[in-house]
Amino acid sequence: MRPRLEDVAAHAGLSAKTVSRVLNNEPNVRESTRRRVAVSIEALDYLPNPSARSLAANRSFIVALLYDNPSPSYVMEVQTGVLQVCDSYSYGMMAQPIDSSSADLVSRVAKLISSRRPDGLVLTPPITEHPGVIAELRTRDIPFTCISPREPDTFSGVALDETAASCDMVEHLVSLGHTSIAHIIGHPRHGGSELRLKGYAEGLARSGLLYRESLVLQGQFSYQSGVECAHRFLIAENRPTAIFAANDDMAAGVISTALEMGLRIPDDLSVCGFDDTPISRQVWPSITTIHQPCLDMGRIAATELFKIIHHNVKANMVLANYSLCVRASTGKPSTSGR
Amino acid sequence: MRPRLEDVAAHAGLSAKTVSRVLNNEPNVRESTRRRVAVSIEALDYLPNPSARSLAANRSFIVALLYDNPSPSYVMEVQTGVLQVCDSYSYGMMAQPIDSSSADLVSRVAKLISSRRPDGLVLTPPITEHPGVIAELRTRDIPFTCISPREPDTFSGVALDETAASCDMVEHLVSLGHTSIAHIIGHPRHGGSELRLKGYAEGLARSGLLYRESLVLQGQFSYQSGVECAHRFLIAENRPTAIFAANDDMAAGVISTALEMGLRIPDDLSVCGFDDTPISRQVWPSITTIHQPCLDMGRIAATELFKIIHHNVKANMVLANYSLCVRASTGKPSTSGR
DNA sequence: CTGTTAGCGCGTTCAC
DNA sequence: GTGAACGCGCTAACAG
């Protein structure tokens, strides 16, 4: 059988409680005692039983990551980041995919919490948008942090200045000489879509360009929606010289459509995306995009969460850094063209 | 406070043990009693405390998914499948990324098992290849199943007939008229690479074509390795008319390189991949590939695992179905060309 | 078929 | 600074 706390205590010639104190980094233990315990733990190869700990302490030592995102790379990166931090706190992480459009989302989340009893949650878009879920968590007073919520001011966690990033992207296009820049909006239920659209508009304004309805279409963040919107833009009389899609998947759709139509990228059309997902590096030409540090964001969200769980400190909303990745899909508009 | 088992028992006018029996679907309970318990559980909105259950039953009710795979979509799909099955058994799942090339892999796995104490494990490539890990699990007598192990006969879990699939792919190319078909091998530490190479060779043999060393290069499953191998193939005197990459990422690299060089796909070069990952649908032209049902494979691996954990039944090696997805990147070789 | 007793391994309360 | 007794909520072994 495995050694128990009691065995460690016997080995060290101490009481179980003292060993427990050492294990949980509690104060009021002499440093020399601490050492003796550490030696015995090592000697017996002792590891605490998580169930017993949880039962007695009335905590699960588990964090839940809630997601409902079609992008596997996004979820994987965030998950990896959260896991890293959880590991460092000897916490477990449970990945919880959940259909955020289902009518009984709130009761599902409630059930999930009741059955698994996580000590805290990390929420990702678009679950961060759901007022019912937020209300439920706040009512139950269960710690949580958000990644990229629509209104960062009212949450703890991490966000990106997506508006500024989009603005930068537009200015990049303008600096290349583009004046007819189209935008494909992201999924309507993701706060990011709105912020990126806002940044697009701001970028135009700053450059003295007009925001034109005809140059903006609603997408869904999916490759297919990129294809469809691109088609509509590109068969138009006066097609834009650049298309800024609100994410990389849609940008890839734009590229496919353009190539299919025989256009050259970036000579006939510049294309850019957002997120810096693997696809932006794996299509030809490679896509100019905004790097979103998902791994870091997962780490930060978890770190902020542990401030609440562990240190009983108030968590903050941290702003992560983005960067513009200029690649092969953007260039000067051809003077000939059209 | 939450209701406990005892409260349910009191409400139903029964003993705690009887309620416990119902909860765990044990036999020797009258059907009418079962109903009474169910009613009380419903009435009190009772949910068992997982820690207490685990402690008393000496089981964690948790399954661990071990992975070390660069493809986020692969891991996500498998994870989703495993999660679905775990949910249906009221089990939790812990995702456990682990560096399979680290020297102390075995001790890491051992530690992971000792600290989290999962009731079973699902192993994915390339961890399935590691004899030390397998030995450790067998020594500890902890249930596990494998997804796509190199030698399916000696494991339980799920596999694909990757050799047959590769063979089919080659025959597809041959049927289009190709006679000069190159292959890019996958990562050397993945069993699949070997099987796919074998299928490539078989496909050639069946079609009466010669296996030529000069038409086979070692890749790494990465986009970049696809780019490099493609370059070497395409600058050759007698370049192949088709390149079969052992996965989609490498195929995407081949496509980029070919387009960069001004080749038309599939007119000047046919390209195909393996896995049917999202990228195969999101590049232009879309990639002909083999569909690997990762979600199902995750489900199957978990289902087989629960045969051992729950039913104490022997698990099997299940063969999942693949299918050939013919898309836009393969076609007849142009008679003009070259 | 059902109930009783004991204990899983740890943290908490309070005493010293 | 340290220790003893108790209880967390549930299941196992046995009795009936």
Chain C bases having any atom below 7 Å from a protein CB: 1-5, 7-13
Pairing label, strands B270-272, B242-245: parallel
Return the beta strands (E) in chain A as ranges. Answer: 62-67, 92-97, 120-123, 144-147, 157-160, 181-185, 216-218, 242-245, 270-272, 289-291, 317-320, 323-325
* Tokens linked to B31: 């059907």
DSSP SS3 for A104:
coil
User: pLDDT tens string for chain B (338 positions)?
Assistant: 789 999 999 999 998 989 999 998 888 888 888 999 999 999 999 999 999 999 999 999 999 999 998 999 999 999 999 999 999 999 999 999 999 999 999 999 999 999 999 999 999 999 999 999 999 999 999 999 999 999 999 999 999 999 999 999 999 999 999 999 999 999 999 999 999 999 999 999 999 999 999 999 999 999 999 999 999 999 998 999 999 999 999 999 999 999 999 999 999 999 999 999 999 999 999 999 999 999 999 999 999 999 999 878 899 999 999 999 999 999 999 865 44
Taking CB atoms and an 8 Å limit, are A278 and B281 in contact across chains?
no
Cα nearest neighbour of A62 on chain B: B94
DSSP SS3 for B238:
coil
Q: Is the CB of B33 less than 7 A from some atom of nucleic acid strand C?
A: yes
Q: Which residues of A241-278 are buried (b: 16+ CB within 10 A; e: fewer)?
A: bbbbbbbbbbbbbbbbbbbeeebebbebbbbbbbbbbb
CB B161 within 8 A of CB B210: no
Check residue A335 and give its pLDDT: 67
Tell me the longest C-alpha to C-alpha distance in chain B: 87
Please tell me the number of Cα atoms within 13 Å of B161 on its side-chain side. 10
For B2-61, the DSSP string reads ---HHHHHHHHTS-HHHHHHHHTT-SS--HHHHHHHHHHHHHHT----HHHHHHHHT---
Burial class (CB in 10 A: 0-12, 13-18, 19+), B34: middle
Check residue B92 and give its pLDDT: 96
* A92: nearest Cα among A111, A65, A55, A72: A65
**Residue located via tokens 């495995």:** A2
Q: Which residues of B170-206 are buried (b: 16+ CB within 10 A; e: fewer)?
A: bbbbbebebeebbbbbbbebbbbbbbbbebbbbbbee
> Considering CB atoms only, which of A52, A92, A93 is closest to B55?
A52
Check residue B110 and give its pLDDT: 95
Quick one: CA dihedral A308, A312, A315, A320, positive or negative?
A: negative
Which residues of B lie inside 8 Å of A (Cβ-Cβ)? Answer: 47, 49-55, 60, 72-73, 75-77, 79-80, 83, 90, 92-95, 97, 114-117, 223, 249, 252-253, 255-256, 259-260, 278-279, 281-284, 286
Query: What pLDDT digit, counting tens, does each position of B44-69 carry?
Result: 999 999 999 999 999 999 999 999 98
Q: Contacts of residue B94 in chain A, CB cutoff 8 Å?
A: 92-94
Chain D bases having any atom below 7 Å from a protein CB: 1-5, 7-13
Check residue A1 and give its pLDDT: 75
Taking CB atoms and an 8 Å limit, are A72 and B278 in contact across chains?
yes
CB B36 within 8 A of CB B20: no
Spatial separation of the C-alpha atoms in residues A12 and A285, rounded to whole Å: 65
Cα nearest neighbour of A68 on chain B: B80
Tell me the longest C-alpha to C-alpha distance in chain A: 87
Check residue B331 and give its pLDDT: 98
Between the CA of B34 and the C1' of C3, what is the distance in angstroms? 16
Check residue A32 and give its pLDDT: 87
Check residue B335 and give its pLDDT: 66
> Which domains does chain A possess?
5-57 (1.10.260.40), 62-160+294-322 (3.40.50.2300), 162-291 (3.40.50.2300)
Whole-angstrom CA distances from A23 to A30, A47, A310 are 13, 10, 15
> Considering CB atoms only, which of B47, B75, B260 is closest to A76?
B75
DSSP SS3 for A238:
coil
Cα nearest neighbour of B287 on chain A: A283
CB B285 within 8 A of CB B329: yes
* A203: nearest Cα among A182, A226, A234, A232: A182
* Tokens linked to A41: 């733990």
Rounded to the nearest 5°, which phi and psi values hold at B101? Answer: -100, 0
Low-confidence ranges of chain A (pLDDT < 70): 335-338
Spatial separation of the C-alpha atoms in residues B223 and B277, rounded to whole Å: 13
Q: What is the DSSP letter of A70?
A: S
Residue A105 parent element (H or E): helix A105-116
